[in-house]
Amino acid sequence: MATTGLVYHEDFLLHEGDRGHPEHPDRLRAALSGLERDGLIDSLVKLEARVATREELELVHTPLCIDYVEKTSRKHKGSLDYETYANRATYHVAALAAGSTNAMVEKLIAGKCRRALALVRPPGHHATASRSMGFCVFNNVAIAARYAQRHCDVHRLLIVDWDVHHGNGTQEIFYADPTVGYFSVHQHPLFPGTGSAGEIGEGEGAGFNLNVPLPAETGDEGFVSAITGSLPNFWQKVRPQLVLVSAGFDAHELDSISQLRVSTAAFARLTEFVLGLAGNTPVGFVMEGGYDMRALADCWHEVARVCIEE
């Protein structure tokens, strides 16, 4: 059995927009309820959440971008872009999401756990170095990757992004960087519009960015084989010392934001597949999208179960 960590903080519930916005605090309550089912949560090692320092945020984001989030968060109701809201808690909560993902990485590298789950929000993979967008404020996974390199003696990382949307922010941040491999499977065309197979990275990073765009109605077999077919070779190329999964569950068949129609069982298979490739390499699952409450509960339950039973 692998020791599996969990980082979570109830302050993640404080970032809240207008009623009806799909990215709301109940998403996190749902994910947590999935971990509570069958008492799985009792088997998880609780890792301490913490707020990222300004210096940590600047590992990825421009000072202007960070200032803008901070300034917008002084208002009762603000917006960072046309669909990314902010309230008075947003700066704190977004910095807590980034800091907690860094804390998870520290524990993974220190060997305190071999697998870990970061139930954080707001999500991160659309946020670029210079702007928050697509419900994402700071790019939690990208910051954690840079943090691992700067502070944890990790040189090569792999980011596996199975959120139904392409992680344009993460791709852009590491596009010319051969030390961080970015692998994304996503519905295409769909927001944000990037993520074609021809986007392979540039300069020294050429070949270290792999997109697998999939059409609507792909279903389980197509989704799973898109990952099992192309991830192993990419993994060998990157030779990661740490793997971060941008774990969104909005490709789920219950989720009305997309049309890939993937089942809970397929996400369980993919979790097993990634852990099988990883072996002793540490893996952290970081919450991205997912807008159906039952799908979130079921999928996070399965990720935790597979990690614990490994």
The answer to whether residues 129 and 66 touch, using CB atoms and an 8 Å cutoff, is: no
Residue number with the shortest CB distance to Zn ion? 289
Q: Which residues contact 178 (CB under 8 A, 6 or more apart)?
A: 201, 204, 205, 207, 208
The correct pick among 201, 205, 284, 289 for binding Zn ion (CB under 5 A) is: 289
Verify binding: residue 134, Zn ion, rule CB under 5 A: no
Nearest to 140 by CA among 261, 17, 244, 217: 244
Distance CA 202, CA 98 (A): 27
Verify binding: residue 24, Zn ion, rule CB under 5 A: no
- With CB under 5 A as the contact rule, which of the stretches 6-14, 221-229, 238-246, 281-289 interacts with Zn ion? 281-289
Verify binding: residue 292, Zn ion, rule CB under 5 A: no
How many residues bind Zn ion (CB under 5 A)? The answer is 5
- With CB under 5 A as the contact rule, which of the stretches 26-34, 101-109, 173-181, 241-249 interacts with Zn ion? 241-249
Q: Which residue, 66 or 296, has its beta carbon nearer to Zn ion?
A: 296
Residues with a catalytic annotation lie at 126
The answer to whether residues 83 and 134 touch, using CB atoms and an 8 Å cutoff, is: yes
Q: How far is the CB of 144 from Zn ion (least distance, A)?
A: 18
Strand 115-118 to 283-287 pairing:
parallel
The correct pick among 248, 251, 267, 303 for binding Zn ion (CB under 5 A) is: 248
Q: Which residue, 186 or 301, has its beta carbon nearer to Zn ion?
A: 186
Q: What residues form DSSP beta bridges with 134?
A: none
CA 171, 176, 181, 187 dihedral sign is positive
Q: Which residue, 131 or 165, has its beta carbon nearer to Zn ion?
A: 165
Q: How far is the CB of 81 from Zn ion (least distance, A)?
A: 15
The answer to whether residues 172 and 184 touch, using CB atoms and an 8 Å cutoff, is: no
The answer to whether residues 280 and 196 touch, using CB atoms and an 8 Å cutoff, is: no
Verify binding: residue 177, Zn ion, rule CB under 5 A: no
The correct pick among 23, 56, 161, 250 for binding Zn ion (CB under 5 A) is: 250
Q: Which residue, 23 or 199, has its beta carbon nearer to Zn ion?
A: 23
Verify binding: residue 161, Zn ion, rule CB under 5 A: no
DSSP category for residue 75: S
Q: Which residue, 149 or 162, has its beta carbon nearer to Zn ion?
A: 162
Distance CA 128, CA 139 (A): 7
Binding site residues, Zn ion, CB under 5 A: 163, 165, 248, 250, 289
